[in-house]
Amino acid sequence: MAIKELHHLTSDQLLRQKDLIKPSSAYQQGTFSCVGSTESFSIMSFTGKYELQSQENFEPFMKALGLPDDQIQKGKDIKSISEIVQDGKKFKITVTTGSKVLHNEFVIGEECEMEMLTGEKVKAVVQMEGNNRLVANLKGLKSVTELNGDTITNTLTMGDLTYKRISKRI
């Protein structure tokens, strides 16, 4: 398989090509190079703490989820902190918003139980698209979390309503 073909593989597919790739000296940063090639590429690490910078459609989205108005009003101006710990395909995500703490753990591609914003626990499978995007469907709600540099954008879609959160690494 040529290096150009490897660029289009997901991280899982890439790791299955272990006979064609070897860790480079920068292995700890998630960089790999192909045997017989000087080209390399990165699998991004989500690990870090992120502070909410902005959000769009918070109130209408939370109302559609069924959260009470008093909870929506309390939460709309709080700068939540998200902490992500990634160990290969395993993720631990803790989101602290005031006194509310939401904690989820999952392994890419495996069914898990996740807590929604409402406190309800649902079964879901989180997939990785490319090297910087996590996608999950949670009981009619689609969650896409994308890492670009030090910015994480989380977009939640339910029907034709979208809620977008943008957080920066701290």
What pLDDT score does 117 carry? 83
Q: 73-106 b/e with 16+ CB inside 10 Å = b?
A: eebeeeebbbebebeeeebebebebeeeebebeb
| pLDDT surpasses 70 at 10 | no
118 or 41: which leads in pLDDT: 118
* Whole-number pLDDT of residue 77: 86
Which one, of 131, 97, 133, lies nearest residue 117 by Cα? 97
- Which residue type is seen at 108? I
Q: What is the pLDDT of residues 113-135, one digit of tens each?
A: 999 888 899 999 999 999 899 99
Q: What six digits make up the tokens of 80? A: 């939540």
Contact present, 142 and 157 (Cβ < 8 Å) = yes
How far is the C-alpha of 126 from the C-alpha of 9, rounded, in Å? 17
| Domain spanning 48-169: CATH 3.40.50.2300 | no
Per-residue confidence at 105, pLDDT binned at 50, 70, 90? very high
Residue 39's nearest CA partner among 21, 56, 54, 19 is 21
| Number of neighbouring beta carbons within 10 Å of residue 38 | 8
Question: Looking up tokens 């008093």, which residue turns up?
Answer: 70
Say if residue 138's pLDDT is above 70.
Answer: yes
What φ, ψ does residue 84 adopt, rounded to 5°? -120, 130
Q: Which pLDDT score is estimated for 76?
A: 84
pLDDT for the residue numbered 139: 86
Residues paired with 138 in a beta bridge: 141
Higher local confidence (pLDDT), 33 or 125: 125
For the chain, residues classed under CATH 2.40.128.20 are 48-169
pLDDT at 43: 57
Helix, strand or coil, per DSSP, at residue 28 = helix
Residue 18 has pLDDT above 70, yes or no: no
Compute the average pLDDT of residues 125-146: 94
